[in-house]
Amino acid sequence: MNTMDTVVAQYHRENLTAGILDALKRAGCRENGITIDALAPVDEFHIRGAEATLEMIELAGFQPEHHVMDVGSGIGGPSRQLAQATGCRVTGLDLTEAYCQTARELAAILELQDLTDYRQGDALAMPFENEVFDGAWTQHVTMNIENKEALLMECHRVLKPAGRLAMYEIIAGSGGPIHFPVPWANDATISHLIERDSFEAALGAAGFRVESTRDVSEASARWFADTIVTNQAAAVPTLGLHVLVGSDMKEKGPNVLKNLEEDRIRVIQLVATKV
Ligand SMILES: C[S@@+](CC[C@H](N)C(=O)[O-])C[C@H]1O[C@@H](n2cnc3c(N)ncnc32)[C@H](O)[C@@H]1O
């Protein structure tokens, strides 16, 4: 299997939309009562869920007239939050077709299909013309991509002059190799974490000026302990990321927490501008 196939195999799920709607129903959500907030525990596939996305919306400052690209958009929770909160248009790009399909179906349920669209494709060879987006963002995507410079150069290419790139990413800490499996990788073959200095240097090399970087690792560890690990330990977990990740979230969740506590991973929120 090549690297891209391994990444898709990591995320692909059969009958994903039906599984999510069924989990919502079991959690007591009526079919006509599905909202962005009801979906958030399962469609925001990153540490600190909707809370982190709302912070990124604030930091990024995208405006209603903007067209934003969401790189590695997953099943679309962040893109829908962004579209709903700001009124801007969002195009998601993701390697995993099953995720794109679910993202479209959930957008239709929430009546956000006019503001969002989802394309299957590789972030290292984006299927977009030069300088078409006002903004771009990523949330928990770069850990699967070894060639950060190529990714950032693609973001640079498709952004308009002075376009803004907002990133919410997992990076390497100073505590050594990480414990596997984790939700983004079962082993080191598709996990490519680099430290903050190298991350910022890659942005500079690709033609971005870093405006701000915030380390949110402590809040991430607290959230993971309180929300994910506690929920997974319950006899019947409530709606959560296990619906997306599968039953091995029981092992992957505690590993993320251990990696955070031992400073093997860190979490940053970063905003950069195309120069
Ligand atoms: C942990 S999920 C995050 C999804 C979403 N950003 C969110 O926060 O809900 C990582 C996503 O990155 C996508 N991905 C990984 N490598 C990619 C690549 N080279 N090009 C496009 N998408 C990629 C995966 O398919 C997966 O949907």
- The pLDDT tens digits of the residues spanning 21-55 come to 999 999 889 888 899 999 999 999 999 999 999 99
Tell me what the mean pLDDT of segment 243-249 comes to.
Answer: 90
- Other CB atoms within 10 A of residue 109 CB: 17
How do residues 139-164 score in pLDDT, each as one tens digit? 999 999 999 999 999 999 999 999 99
> Among 259, 260, 268, which Cα is nearest to 215's?
268
The CA 123 to ligand 1 mean position distance, Å, reads: 9
Whether residue 237 has pLDDT greater than 80: no
* Residue-wise pLDDT tens digits, 59-103: 999 999 999 999 999 999 999 999 999 999 999 999 999 999 999
Task: State yes or no: pLDDT of 235 exceeds 80.
Answer: no
Q: Which of helix, strand or coil describes residue 15?
A: coil
Measured in Å, residue 52 CA sits from the centre of ligand 1 at 16
Q: How confident is the model at residue 234 (pLDDT cuts 50, 70, 90)?
A: confident
Q: pLDDT by residue (tens digit) across 128-142? A: 999 999 999 999 999
Among 111, 256, 36, residue whose Cα is nearest residue 248: 256
Cα(55) to centroid(ligand 1), Å? 19
Closest CA relative to residue 137, chosen from 59, 215, 224: 59
Is 78 near ligand 1, meaning CB less than 6 Å away?
Answer: yes
Distance from C-alpha of 202 to C-alpha of 150, rounded to nearest angstrom: 9
Mean pLDDT of 209-224: 97
Using most ligand atoms within 8 A of CB, pick from 48, 95, 184, 242 the residue to mutate for ligand 1: 95
Q: In this structure, what token pair is assigned to residue 237?
A: 């977990």
Task: Give the atom of ligand 1 at the shortest distance from the alpha carbon of 75.
Answer: 9
Residue 247 has pLDDT above 90, yes or no: no
Burial of 28 (0-12, 13-18, 19+ CB in 10 A): exposed
